[in-house]
Amino acid sequence: MTTRGQTQQFDKALFKASVEKHLVTTYAKTPETADSRSWYLAVGKALAEISTGSLLETEKQLAEQNVRSVNYLSLEFLIGRLTGNNLISMGLYEEVSAAVEELGLNLTDLLEEERDPALGNGGLGRLAACFMDSLAAQEYPAVGYGLHYEYGLFSQSFEGGHQVEAPDAWRGIEGYPWEVVRPELGQTVGLFGSVETYTDKAGTICRRWVPAMTVEGVAWDLPIVGYDNKSVYPLRLWECRSPAPFNLARFNDGDYVGAQYGQLEAGNVTKVLYPNDNHDQGKTLRLMQQYFHCACSIADILRRHFAAGNKIEDLAKLESIQLNDTHPTIAIPELMRILIDEHKLGWDAAWAISSKVFAYTNHTLLPEALERWSESLIADMLPRHMEIIFEINHRFMTLVEEKWPGNNEIKRKLSIIEEGQQRMVRMANLCVVSTYAVNGVAALHSELVKRDLFPEFNELFPGRLHNVTNGVTPRRWLKFCNPGLTELVNEKIGTEWPAKLDQLSGLAKFAEDKKFQKRYLAVKKDNKQRFADWVQDNMGIELDTNAIFDVQIKRLHEYKRQHLNLLHILSLYHRLLNEPTFDMHPRVFIFAAKAAPGYALAKDIIFAINKVADKVNNDPRLGGKLKVVFVPDYRVSLAEIIIPAADVSEQISTAGLEASGTGNMKLALNGALTIGTMDGANVEIREEVGDENIFIFGLLVDEVLKQKEEGHDPYRYYHADSLLRASLDLLNTDEFTPGNPGQLSAIRQNLLDGGDPYLVLADFADYVKAHEKIDAEYRDQATWARKTILNTALVGKFSSDRSIRDYVNNIWKLKAVSVK
């Protein structure tokens, strides 16, 4: 393979020497004493040596050219393992494979030694990782800013079917080979304290923050290697350390810091990732994480700006700062504070800069996920920032008064400050008011943002609200994870598609080609076998690869409706045992999902699926037609083996609630047919692949809203539909929990007496029908082959390269810079 990248410089002998050197000097092992993990670490370090060199070179060239760049601020980057992916981007996969073979090693085995850096919860964090990959691949200058959590997302195991969480020390004892510490980039961050007024030399009365304490930010860089080019961008992760010596006396001083903070140590700030997806817990330490992240990142952006010889007035010309949801919103008052208090700009001059620097992405409409912080908490931890937020709101309210004179209801609705028992700061409102662009993450979601979430803002700020449909990187999510399909695609349309995913449409003309269909299905079968082997080895469950592999992998949340999937499984169980004429093609239902540790019903659903799995997998009456597998510890590296093996992709959220979804894109790209509601990016997937190649069911957004308005009555469905009734009632028996009836009734209870908040019962019948259609169509293998090929061929739109180009053209206005 020819590449413009690092390939030309690769010297096998030198590389082997470097690996052996790291084995000895970095990891204190000899080739005789080294185990597989030490070898992986040494290989990782030898590769990181190459990429760190390129990172510094990229940094230098971009600074010299003083080009506009984007700063992607996110509390989460769910990057997954880096070694295999970076090898592909560097164009060194085959070369390194051969080199390690000469050392008596197998590259595939070594790659399995890497623990996933799980610095994110789910879609939002994984999107940030795909975006960094696409920025580097297309050489749009960028820095990713995140947190260096000591513990990533908890690892999950099952005990008696229940989820058990364990801490995830992702770096291991030896440290992560790809990261490099940058001591010269350290920052000091203030917290708590007070604001004082003083008169400066020019006689102007000024305000300034006097923090009660400070903590230190240490920068760790992970290399984001550009695919097939020489650019390497930093993913800069901040670690919080207490300054030495830690000023405990002052810290404990009740005058400065309330007693509730007495137990806090600065080292705690980046200790652990909050394990909530689409849910805001409002914890003090979380706000501290957010501010620490923003303070370090803003300071670093300004450092780069000045180091390149620029003036503060040119900040908006050279830097854009993208806020990944509201989690980094406090960056806005932080920049305003620095511009006003430190650079002595007036409010209008500061606002003119700040409001042209920031842009904000909204990822969710779920009310429980929209961040609100109590005014008193912010005022306590960040008193100057609270003053600035009040001033932003005051000026904004003047604007609202001009537009809607005397309309206090609109004012109450739009205000950044929510009045009530305790005043709250609405972070999304702060974002919309203070940024130059706001975007949703799929066409439907962006419409709902305009129509339902921010209609008045849309009137006040015409043109500010955008759509950028999400995407996924085809490097990791096809080329790396599915080598079999990659080879087949290469043979048909050449090797440029990983950088130009639209080219996949060239496969469409083979959709009817019998020989191609056979080969495509053979690749799928091999991938199913690879996954079946994994399940056999790790879970002791035997799977038949002739069965339909039906996959739902995503965080566990009621709105994602894993319990709808469960009810369908129960209905099949019921029919197989009670309807003599019922027949179905063998099906394996595959789940993987973590539940937030405090989310009781989500954990009940995991327990129920595990219990049903125990029973159906061992029930001879079912004749092997029904299997259920709940794969523990869902993570990026597991997705990489499940996705290529999937026949059916479950995207069954209540319409209007899944902003986009990105697993839906990965699964379709790898040839799974979607069964889904008209929600999020499903709508656009349908548009691309055509209605015949997707299984759509369920209520539409406006039907959902109408039904909720009119009062959804779950019992109406229960009484009218005997299959639904039988399925639900199974949850009240001891069929799956012998001797313990009632262990699964919480789910039934929630659906029937809890009002069924996500309209599971309303969509059940249509869902069952869609599954019957899948069953029939799978049996006709030629038909199925055509549909699955067309899915791969027609989803080129969902490359994150396209998403990034949308951001670049409509929001960031960057120019690509080719590093020499």
What is the gyration radius of the CA atoms in the chain, in angstroms?
A: 27
Minimum CB distance to ligand 73E smaller for 23 or for 269: 269
Can you name the residues that pair with 209 across neighbouring β-strands?
195
Is 563 in the active site? Answer: no
The nearest distance, CB 328 to ligand 73E, in angstroms, is 12
Part of the chain binding ligand 73E (CB under 6 A), chosen from 5-13, 121-129, 408-416, 456-464:
121-129
The nearest distance, CB 555 to ligand 73E, in angstroms, is 8
Find the farthest-apart pair of alpha carbons in the chain and give their distance in angstroms, rounded. Answer: 92
Minimum CB distance to ligand 73E smaller for 94 or for 368: 368
Among 354, 435, 470, 473, binds ligand 73E (CB under 6 A): 470
Minimum CB distance to ligand 73E smaller for 328 or for 714: 328
Instruction: Judge whether 631 and 591 are in contact, CB under 8 Å.
Output: yes
Minimum CB distance to ligand 73E smaller for 132 or for 569: 132
Q: For 589, what's the count of Cα atoms within 13 Å in the CB-facing half-sphere?
A: 24
Part of the chain binding ligand 73E (CB under 6 A), chosen from 150-158, 261-269, 335-343, 362-370:
362-370
Minimum CB distance to ligand 73E smaller for 653 or for 727: 653
Among 289, 527, 571, 660, binds ligand 73E (CB under 6 A): 660
Q: How far is CA 483 from CA 266, 465, 488, in A?
A: 45, 39, 9
Which helix (H) or strand (E) segment holds residue 210: the answer is: strand 205-210
A 10 A CB-CB count for 202 gives: 7
Minimum CB distance to ligand 73E smaller for 661 or for 796: 661
> Residue 520 corresponds to which tokens in the numbers above?
């495509």
Q: Which of residues 299-358 bind ligand 73E (CB under 6 A)?
A: 325
Is 560 in the active site? Answer: yes
The nearest distance, CB 804 to ligand 73E, in angstroms, is 14
Residues 257-286: x where in contact with ligand 73E by CB under 6 A, - otherwise, as a string:
-------------------xxx--------
Can residue 659 be called a binding residue for ligand 73E (CB under 6 A)? yes
CA-CA-CA-CA torsion for 393, 452, 446, 80, nearest 10 degrees? 80
The nearest distance, CB 323 to ligand 73E, in angstroms, is 13
Going by the DSSP 8-state scheme, the letter that residue 226 receives in this structure is: P
Instruction: Judge whether 96 and 47 are in contact, CB under 8 Å.
Output: yes
Can residue 84 be called a binding residue for ligand 73E (CB under 6 A)? no
Can residue 363 be called a binding residue for ligand 73E (CB under 6 A)? yes
The nearest distance, CB 289 to ligand 73E, in angstroms, is 12
Report the alpha-carbon distance of residue 299 to residue 620 in Å, rounded.
64
**Cis amide leading into 367 (omega within 30):** no
A 10 A CB-CB count for 615 gives: 16
Part of the chain binding ligand 73E (CB under 6 A), chosen from 118-126, 162-170, 427-435, 694-702:
118-126
Among 18, 54, 86, 121, binds ligand 73E (CB under 6 A): 121
Is 666 in the active site? Answer: yes
DSSP secondary structure letters along 136-198: HHTT--EEEEEE--SB-SPEEEEETTEEEEE---TTTTT--TT-EE-GGG-EEEEES-EEEEE
Minimum CB distance to ligand 73E smaller for 34 or for 553: 553
- Give the active site residue among 555, 594, 712, 786: 555
Is 805 in the active site? Answer: no
Q: Which of residues 367-406 bind ligand 73E (CB under 6 A)?
A: 369
Q: For residue 463, give the 3-state DSSP assignment.
A: coil
Can residue 290 be called a binding residue for ligand 73E (CB under 6 A)? no
The nearest distance, CB 92 to ligand 73E, in angstroms, is 31
Report the alpha-carbon distance of residue 132 to residue 77 in Å, rounded.
9
The nearest distance, CB 704 to ligand 73E, in angstroms, is 16
Length of the chain: 820
Part of the chain binding ligand 73E (CB under 6 A), chosen from 7-15, 122-130, 231-239, 333-341:
122-130
> Residue 644 corresponds to which tokens in the numbers above?
């290529």
Among 84, 123, 217, 698, binds ligand 73E (CB under 6 A): 123
Can residue 465 be called a binding residue for ligand 73E (CB under 6 A)? no
Minimum CB distance to ligand 73E smaller for 301 or for 678: 678
Minimum CB distance to ligand 73E smaller for 662 or for 693: 662
Part of the chain binding ligand 73E (CB under 6 A), chosen from 55-63, 227-235, 411-419, 654-662:
654-662
676 closest CA partner among 364, 476, 444, 439: 444
User: Where does 177-274 have alpha helices with state H?
Assistant: 248-252
Going by the DSSP 8-state scheme, the letter that residue 340 receives in this structure is: I
Report the alpha-carbon distance of residue 400 to residue 398 in Å, rounded.
5
Minimum CB distance to ligand 73E smaller for 23 or for 124: 124
> Residue 699 corresponds to which tokens in the numbers above?
């209520």
Q: Decide the pairing of beta strands 213-225 and 548-553.
A: unpaired
470 closest CA partner among 122, 123, 71, 89: 123
Report the alpha-carbon distance of residue 77 to residue 83 in Å, rounded.
16
Among 193, 333, 680, 698, binds ligand 73E (CB under 6 A): 680
Can residue 441 be called a binding residue for ligand 73E (CB under 6 A)? yes
Can residue 473 be called a binding residue for ligand 73E (CB under 6 A)? no
Can residue 788 be called a binding residue for ligand 73E (CB under 6 A)? no
Can residue 118 be called a binding residue for ligand 73E (CB under 6 A)? no
The nearest distance, CB 284 to ligand 73E, in angstroms, is 17
Among 364, 562, 571, 693, binds ligand 73E (CB under 6 A): 364
628 closest CA partner among 672, 569, 564: 569
- Give the active site residue among 230, 445, 666, 797: 666
A 10 A CB-CB count for 261 gives: 20
The nearest distance, CB 453 to ligand 73E, in angstroms, is 13
Q: How far is CA 489 from CA 483, 485, 486, 557, in A?
A: 10, 6, 5, 36
Q: How far is CA 411 from CA 401, 426, 429, in A?
A: 8, 13, 12
Minimum CB distance to ligand 73E smaller for 242 or for 290: 290
Minimum CB distance to ligand 73E smaller for 74 or for 242: 74
Can residue 662 be called a binding residue for ligand 73E (CB under 6 A)? yes
The nearest distance, CB 758 to ligand 73E, in angstroms, is 14
Instruction: Judge whether 704 and 654 are in contact, CB under 8 Å.
Output: yes
Among 133, 658, 688, 756, binds ligand 73E (CB under 6 A): 658
Going by the DSSP 8-state scheme, the letter that residue 116 receives in this structure is: P
Is 317 in the active site? Answer: no
Instruction: Judge whether 92 and 15 are in contact, CB under 8 Å.
Output: no
Among 5, 661, 698, 714, binds ligand 73E (CB under 6 A): 661
127 closest CA partner among 365, 361, 428: 361
**Cα 542-546-548 angle, rounded to 5 deg:** 90
Can residue 156 be called a binding residue for ligand 73E (CB under 6 A)? no
SS (H, E, C) 563-620: HHHHHHHHHHHHHHHHCCCCCCCCEEEEEECCCCCCCHHHHHHHHHHHHHHHHHCCCH
Minimum CB distance to ligand 73E smaller for 364 or for 727: 364
Q: For 119, what's the count of Cα atoms within 13 Å in the CB-facing half-sphere?
A: 27
Can residue 415 be called a binding residue for ligand 73E (CB under 6 A)? no
Binding-site size, ligand 73E (CB under 6 A): 19
Binding site for ligand 73E (CB under 6 A): 121, 123-124, 127, 276-278, 325, 363-364, 369, 441, 470, 658-662, 680
Q: Which residues are marked as active site?
A: 363, 554-555, 560, 662, 666
